[in-house]
Each structure stands twice: as C-alpha cells, then as structure tokens.
Chains A and B, each alone.
Chain A
C-alpha cells in the first residue's frame, strides 16, 4: 500500500510521518502531482493558517488535483479545514470537498482560544473510521477555528459549543485533532484510515 503525505509546508509533517512509521507504514513526503494521484491513500497534514495553506497548494499546482482524487483522503487539523468550503480565517476559499464552513471559536468565560489540549471525541454515527472508539476516549486538539456540526460530522467534541472532531464526505475525511499526538486513541483512528 502506498501512502503519501502532501508536503504543503505544515510543520507537523514529520510527526505524522513518524506516527505512520509506528503503524508500520513508510509514507512518502511529496508535492508531486503524479505521485499523489497514484497513491492508495493521501494524507493532507497542516499546521498554520488557512490563507497561506491554500496559497501554498495553489503555488504547488495541487488544487485541482486534490479536488479530483478518488482514493481515501485524510486531512489533519488545518488539512481538514482546507477540505471544507470556506474558512473565516483570512476569509479564505478552501477546496470545497466537504460543504462545511470553518469558523473561529467564540471566546467566553472558561473558553480560551486557542482550544488546546485533550478533549473527548464522541461518535455521532457509525463509520469505519471510528471503529473501536471508546466512550471516554480523548484526543489532542490545538486550533482556534473549528467546523460546526452538520451532515458531515462523524464525531464531535465540545468546547463552549459542539464542533466537528471527525468529518467525512465520500472519500474525503478530516480529523480536527492531531491523531499523531493523541496516544493510543490517535493511533487507532489513523489505523482505521489506513485500513479503509
């Protein structure tokens, strides 16, 4: 099985790659269109802001390629947000593969932004990506923008209000938390994606 990590400049690429290695998968780090097109699985990691993230994909000429993929694709953190329709962060048009908006968390007493730390991930429906997810399982989040819950939500978390922790539409999937930094829970969910 060939798994590629799209090198769009995110700083967590190394961590995601190591997490895949711990699962026995050596993922190539690439921005080459042909390599991405022919891979069995495509992972779009990303840490940073939506505007620069989309700008980087545009520079690399990957926008239309990513939109045309038919194999399983997983966006992680910012990578997940880039799969969505539009982000409030820098008023950025994203890839539009999952028809969801990305909105900034609203600060409130006890709701500090960024949302940083471990939070419960609660399955909203049955999906192979969530196989084995326990009721009290937590994952590690670091983000200031989030996708509201909607038709696209497989699992949600709560921070002042519910938001999407795992989303999917057709072959496109997203995890808002960092599976590569979410201990055994993260490894389980990453493995589910590799097995999908």
Chain B
C-alpha cells in the first residue's frame, strides 16, 4: 500500500531557508544543505524547496544549491521558483531535482504545463496553487505570493484552475490554502476535501499544520496523499519521527523505520 508522505518545505531566499507568517516577515531558519540532511535523517519522505523570491524578481531558481542538495540527499526533492520554460526546468532537473513545481509562471502561460509534461513526463511536473477565499465565498488563485507587495488576486477560481492544470499534464498538485498558512490552526479541510473530489493526481496539502492531529485530519478526512509543512518542523515543535509514529498508530499508512 502506498504510504502517505510527510513533506517539509524549505522556503529559500538568498541561499538560506526562511519562514514567514502568512507569507510575510521572513526570518532565517538555517542553511539549505544542513536542514535538508536533518530532515532526511529524521525520516522526511520528500523535500520541497521554494525559491520564494525568484518569481516576483523575474528570475529562475539558483541551480548551484540544487546540485549540492542532490549530491547528499537520498530522498526525492522538488524545486520551485520562477521556472518559466522547458529549458529552465531541464537545467533544474539535470542539476538533480526529481520534480519541478510551477505556480506563477503557469498562471502567466498555462501552456507551460503542457510543454513540461511533454518534455519530461507528467511525473516530474507539480503545479502549486496558492488559494484564498474571497468575500463572496469563492476560492480564487493568488499569483506572486513570494512578495506581498507584488501578490495579485486573480479572477480565476481555484477549482477551475485545478481541473485545467490536470488536463494540461500536472502530475501532482500542491494546494496551499493561504487563509490557514502560518497560523498553525490546522489544514483547510473544507477546501482540501472539495479539491480532493476533483483531483485525480496526487494532492498535497499545504498551509496550517500546527499539531500532529492536523496531519491526521488532512490524511483521514481530506484523503490527501501528502502533507507539507515548514515552521513546525523548522522550530522543532513537531519532530518528524514522533509524528510518523503517531500517524502510523492512527492507522495512516506511513513509512516508519
């Protein structure tokens, strides 16, 4: 049986891992390779690196650290951040990343998803979606969320975009529920459950993890394939080995050593 995945997310800015609250006020958490190794040792199933300032600054991800991580890490990792073309994606994959994740550039030019899937296969192509509920009750997509001064609210409904992304060749969807991000009150189970019903590829929950129970709820109630979190792991408030044992005891299929 396929295990559910625990995925620490490392937001990278200027070569270091940072964390902000609700995407703002970033503080440095540590060195990239050091943190990556720590999470590997603790039993993380996968890592995601977001070069959070690449897209707003109109540049692609810095590949030198991708290669450094690939040399030492023996679990899969995904890289995101301003990947705008097949050539840029190829460079990141050749540097050793297993998957690339696109978000703002795919919103600028949705055909990018088709091109990436054709070039590398859908299994390499993750589409990240930043979603926030508007006053009218609809979840809609946000763009350029790495920089609050450049973040844009789009008229595009989150669920419409999720369907289109899959049709174009997304092999996995990371749904970041911005309303719950960074405040540690739990994943947005309502939104994730609605998304799950229309998502036929692996779905990863992002935003809101604060307690081990939040992970259980995301797996059991929203049936997500993986749960992504950052600050609870960086701060040490949740230790991955204990979290995975807890989830295993709760009947969630886990890789435990």
Residues of the B chain whose Cβ atoms lie less than 8 Å from the Cβ of A144: 121-123
For chains A and B in complex, what number of residue pairs have CB atoms within 8 angstroms?
100
**A21 at the binding interface (Cβ < 8 Å):** yes
Asked if residues A11 and B45 are in contact (CB atoms below 8 Å), the reply is no
Asked if residues B98 and A142 are in contact (CB atoms below 8 Å), the reply is yes
Asked if residues A180 and B124 are in contact (CB atoms below 8 Å), the reply is no
**A15 at the binding interface (Cβ < 8 Å):** yes
Which of A113, A182, A187 meets B201, CB within 8 Å? A113
As a 0/1 sequence over residues 187 to 219 of chain B, the CB contacts with chain A under 8 angstroms (1 = contact) are 000000000000011100000000000000000
Asked if residues B2 and A142 are in contact (CB atoms below 8 Å), the reply is no
A48 to B122, CA, bound (A): 8
Asked if residues A119 and B3 are in contact (CB atoms below 8 Å), the reply is yes
Chain A contributes a number of interface residues (CB within 8 A of B) equal to 39
**Which of the candidate stretches B15-23, B54-62, B89-97, B136-144 sits at the interface with the other chain?**
B89-97
Task: Tell me which residues from 1 to 42 in chain A have a Cβ below 8 Å from any Cβ of chain B.
Answer: 11-15, 18-19, 21-22
Residues of the A chain whose Cβ atoms lie less than 8 Å from the Cβ of B202: 112, 114, 116-117
A114 to B122, CA, bound (A): 8
A75 to B5, CA, bound (A): 26
Asked if residues A181 and B76 are in contact (CB atoms below 8 Å), the reply is yes
**B183 at the binding interface (Cβ < 8 Å):** no
Q: In angstroms, how far is the closest chain A Cβ from the Cβ of B193?
A: 15
Interface of B is mostly: loop
A187 to B40, CA, bound (A): 14
Task: Tell me which residues from 133 to 181 in chain A have a Cβ below 8 Å from any Cβ of chain B.
Answer: 136, 138, 140, 142-144, 158-159, 178, 180-181
A138 to B70, CA, bound (A): 20
**B134 at the binding interface (Cβ < 8 Å):** no
Interface of A is mostly: mixed
Interface size class of B (residues with CB under 8 A): 35 or more
Which of B76, B255, B256 meets A142, CB within 8 Å? B76
Q: In angstroms, how far is the closest chain B Cβ from the Cβ of A48?
A: 5
A182 to B201, CA, bound (A): 21
Residues of the A chain whose Cβ atoms lie less than 8 Å from the Cβ of B135: none
Which of B1, B67, B120, B171 meets A116, CB within 8 Å? B171
Q: In angstroms, how far is the closest chain A Cβ from the Cβ of B249?
A: 15
**A186 at the binding interface (Cβ < 8 Å):** yes
Residues of the A chain whose Cβ atoms lie less than 8 Å from the Cβ of B121: 47-49, 144
Nearest A-chain residue to B100, judged by Cβ: A11
Can you list 23 A-B contacts (CB < 8 A)?
A11-B90, A11-B120, A14-B67, A15-B96, A18-B70, A18-B96, A19-B74, A47-B123, A47-B124, A110-B223, A113-B200, A115-B2, A116-B123, A116-B202, A117-B225, A118-B2, A118-B255, A140-B76, A143-B123, A159-B1, A181-B76, A181-B98, A183-B74
A residues engaging B (CB < 8 A)?
11-15, 18-19, 21-22, 47-49, 107, 110, 112-120, 136, 138, 140, 142-144, 158-159, 178, 180-184, 186-187
B residues engaging A (CB < 8 A)?
1-5, 40, 45-46, 67, 70-71, 74-76, 90, 93-96, 98-99, 120-124, 171-172, 200-202, 223, 225-226, 255-256
